[in-house]
A and B are shown apart, each in its own frame.
Chain A
Amino acid sequence: MTNRATSTNSPLLKLRGITKRFPGVLALDGVDFTLQAGEIHALLGENGAGKSTLIKVLTGVYRRDTGSMQLGGLEIDPQNPAQAEQLGISTVYQEVNLIPELSVAENISIGRQPRWYGLIDWQACRLRAQEALAPLELSIDVTQPLRTYSIAVQQMVAIARALDQQAKVLVLDEPTSSLDTAEVEQLFRVMRRLRKDGMGIVFVSHFLDQVYAISDRLTVLRGGNLVGEYEAVSLPRLELISKMIGEKVAQVAEMENRHAAPPTTDDQPVVLSAQGIQRRNAIEKMDLEICAGEVVGLAGLLGSGRTETARLLFGIDQPDSGTIKVDGKIVRKHGPRTAIRNRIALAPEDRKEAGIIPNLSVRENIVLALQGRRGWLRRIKRSDQQLLADRFIRALNIATPNSEKLAGQLSGGNQQKVILARWLAMQPKILILDEPTRGIDVGAKVEIENLVAELCADGMALLFISSELAEVCRDSHRIVVLRDQRKIGELTGEEIQLERIMHIIADEQTTEEAEDRTDA
């Protein structure tokens, strides 16, 4: 904010020849990156391209091996994130790295609290927080603990902290992953405003639509190397994707244009059927059926009840009423273990918290569910575990040197494949995929979408949940539309069109508001 008068020809931030080596990996190989004051610059690349490493070098988490960094023409060498912040480089991560139990005001000024004779001046602290939040069009009670607010608000607080520190460079690392459409719009408004004020913003995102909507320029990395820097308006989307993933252009075109193959036949048996299931504060009474060889998509905004539905079907939460049938038989005492016995599998939305076991090997992660179903006494022989792991590493093209690598050390896309392998190993009849492609690179995304089509052709019943409507449309035979924890529509075959779904979501909103008014 202090930097609003910097001329455009001398860059705000100039990184040259940045190299960073980890044991056995060259994470960055002589990468250049240039950021102007008053621009939003997207940093793009697949997982493992070196985006995170570059950001961590920039923000002082890692030390570069070679290369130079200049901020406003001065050579800098931040030793740690606190120093980078002092220099004017602030970062907002996908998972907000503030302290949830402290108040909003404390989070904004922590480490730099205003003092009054050595004691913290709480009133000044609160005023300062309100001041920092004002340009973000956010008026909240700054004395409340941070955790009481949504992720979107928490991110705004993190940005406010950056403003309070007079940041010149703001790094936003996957800021929109947990936001719904309206929240993304609000974030973009704030970003545009900061750009006008002369801040340089580095924007990292997997959502290419958003990248194009907000960015001025793009820098693409691949495999630790700089691919190039481009004006956003002059680089077509398909070309960008091909630059990100290398030579797989044809594959990209295929994905962009494809539609789910028609279901094998119409007379497939219903495998999973939920009748009138409901749960307070999760999902209102709904019916759902999935046939063998069918992909049913759940479409809706964040908080519409998608994940809640998945949790009920897999037995993580119990429905208040309603029945769930597998192959026509009612499932009683529903829980993950019963679900698995009925050959239902769930790849959960939150890969890190609920999916991967980071310090166990890829092999152990893959055999886990199968071994869990067999029980502890009937251990799968080590040699069989090996065969199983190797088979899935090959089949799903999991990028790992061997099956003994710790799963937590793989990239996000490969972790997701390991979790899929865990479920495929126990040959499920019903596979629930909750955001299977979130936060993973384009290449892995194509592979996972292809896998969905293959499994379906083999007769599996799939429930596909994604916040990317286009993806749901592409991969589903039937789409159930949810809004505000209610099923509000169902589309099949030709009816499946992106616009139509968006209309359903929007129209329902107006009729419901009308209802509310008549009720009142």
Chain B
Amino acid sequence: MPESLRKLCWPLAALAVLLLFNALLNPEFFSLHFAEGRLTGSLVDVLDRATPVLLLSLGMTLVIATAGVDLSVGAVMAMAGSISAVLLTDFGMPVLPTLLITLLASLAAGAWNGLLVSMLGIQPIVATLILMVAGRGIAQLLTDGQIIPIEGHPGFAYLGGGTLFFLPVTITIALAAALFTAIAVRYTALGLFIESAGENPTASRYAGLNVRAVRLLVYTLSGLFAGVAGLIYASDITAADANNAGLYLELDAILAVVIGGTALSGGRFFLAGSIIGALIIQTLGTTILMTQIGGQSIPAEWNLIVKAIVVLVVCLLQSAALRQILTGKGVRG
């Protein structure tokens, strides 16, 4: 598809520039070492840390393609962490059933959003705002507002810290989720239905598409992926932190999707673009942490500002209007 390739150009270029910047400032950035049975290095680190946002952005891409948005994914992450912590520690449940129940609960949370949007016709931003607030509330109730350590469960710890194929297992999980989504939408007619429903719901309904079912499905998937991201996060910090898990990550996920070229107005979506978007956001974070200017590192307070600037630049690069102004086509010669 030439269109999707064209759409990928600018995000890829932005990622390349970011990586190049790192290579110049910090020669160590691209070096990889083999230690304790796995590859280590900044690049691996970026991929590892990008997984939660990457997972969120997969679901978010589909939701945004239906002209919706899912603000609740960060809260669902917190919920997933708390549920699994409570099951493991308070109920002494084995790891596998814990994971299963947690994922089912996340799925249900997503389906709840989907029901509000598709059956009751509540605007997506409002419908998911409800769970954004309530989800974190549930997470805090479950953990009594405390950080619950999850220790002595190697199976659970493996999720966020284990090694598979000489790389952090998170990378394989994210890759599998991305592949699953890509196959689900492109090797079935689901992608067409999502784009059609997002672009023109009335016409889609008249053409015999089940627009409600499509909406229900994308929010449910979004919830499921948020659950996976929440599990990875809890496993990584070996604790359920209802206050901070997934905080503001819904915004990162939306940014990743937008950077990737999917329009908030719905319609055409670009999964690969969203993945690159998630990588850009994470690379940026790592860059700011690692960059030394005159032997001094950049204060962490600058993180958000720099992030905003880079996102702005990437969005400007994609702006057709700005390109016209710059090339002089918008102005009569």
Contact = CB atoms under 8 A, between A and B. Distances in A.
Interface stretch (B97-105, B118-126, B163-171, B200-208): B200-208
Contacts of B187: 379
Contacts of A376: 188-190, 193
Interface string A310-343: 0000101000000000000000000011011000
Interface in A355-378: 355-360, 364, 367-369, 371-378
A355 B203 contact: yes
Contact of A357 (B189, B199, B208, B210): B199
A375 B214 CA distance: 11
A318 to B, nearest CB: 14
Given A359-B268, A379-B189, A368 B202 contact: no
Contacts of A314: 206
Interface stretch (A161-169, A259-267, A346-354): A346-354
A426 to B, nearest CB: 8
Nearest to B332: A63
Nearest to A350: B202
B208 A358 contact: no
B192 A368 contact: yes
Contacts of B332: 63-65
Contacts of A354: 200, 202-203, 206
B189 A337 contact: no
Contacts of B59: none
Given A376-B190, A379-B189, A357 B206 contact: no
B208 A360 contact: no
A355 B202 CA distance: 8
Nearest to A347: B206
Most A CB atoms within 10 A — which of B202, B207, B209?
A: B207
A422 interface: yes
B195 interface: yes
A336 B203 contact: no
Contact of A353 (B196, B202, B208): B202
B188 A377 contact: yes
A507 B199 CA distance: 46
A392 to B, nearest CB: 15
A451 interface: no
Most B CB atoms within 10 A — which of A359, A372, A374, A376?
A: A376
Interface string B264-292: 00011000000000000000000000000
Given A358-B199, A358-B200, A360-B199, A368 B188 contact: no
A346 B206 contact: yes
Contact of B196 (A63, A336, A355, A360): A360
A368 B200 contact: no
B208 A340 contact: yes
Given A337-B208, A346-B206, A357 B196 contact: yes
A253 interface: no
A353 B193 CA distance: 17
A380 interface: yes
Interface in B156-195: 187-190, 192-193, 195
Interface residues of A, number: 34
B203 A353 contact: yes
B248 to A, nearest CB: 31
B204 A357 contact: yes
A359 B262 CA distance: 13
A355 B206 CA distance: 8
Contacts of A374: 189
A340 B206 CA distance: 9
Nearest to B210: A337
A360 B195 contact: yes
Chain B contact patch, size range = 20 to 34
A369 B200 contact: no
Contacts of B189: 371, 374-380
A374 B195 CA distance: 17
Given A358-B200, A359-B268, A336 B206 contact: yes
A355 B199 CA distance: 11
B199 A379 contact: no
Given A358-B200, A379-B187, A348 B192 contact: no
Nearest to B205: A336
Contact of B207 (A368, A377, A378): A368
Contacts of B190: 376
B206 A348 contact: yes
Interface string A55-81: 000000001110000000000000000
B267 A369 contact: no
Contacts of A316: 206
Nearest to B184: A376
Nearest to B265: A359
Contacts of B205: 336
Nearest to A380: B189
A368 B196 contact: yes
B188 A359 contact: no
Most A CB atoms within 10 A — which of B199, B200, B205, B210?
A: B200
Contact of B209 (A64, A65, A368): A368
A153 to B, nearest CB: 25
A221 B42 CA distance: 64
Contacts of A63: 332
A410 to B, nearest CB: 15
Given A368-B196, A376-B189, A376-B190, A356 B208 contact: no
A376 B214 CA distance: 10
A368 B188 CA distance: 13
A286 to B, nearest CB: 22
Contacts of A367: 192
A372 B188 contact: no
Interface string B317-333: 00000000000000010
B196 A364 contact: yes
A314 B202 CA distance: 14
Contacts of B267: 359-360
A379 to B, nearest CB: 4
Contact of A371 (B192, B199, B268): B192
Interface of B: 187-190, 192-193, 195-196, 199-200, 202-210, 267-268, 332
Across the A-B interface, give the 6 residue pairs with the lowest CB-CB distance, nearest first.
A372-B208, A340-B208, A63-B332, A379-B189, A369-B207, A376-B189
Given A314-B206, A336-B206, A368-B204, 8 more contacts: A64-B332, A353-B203, A357-B199, A358-B200, A369-B208, A372-B209, A377-B188, A379-B187
12 contacts: A64-B332, A336-B206, A336-B208, A354-B206, A357-B196, A357-B200, A360-B196, A360-B199, A368-B209, A371-B189, A376-B189, A422-B207
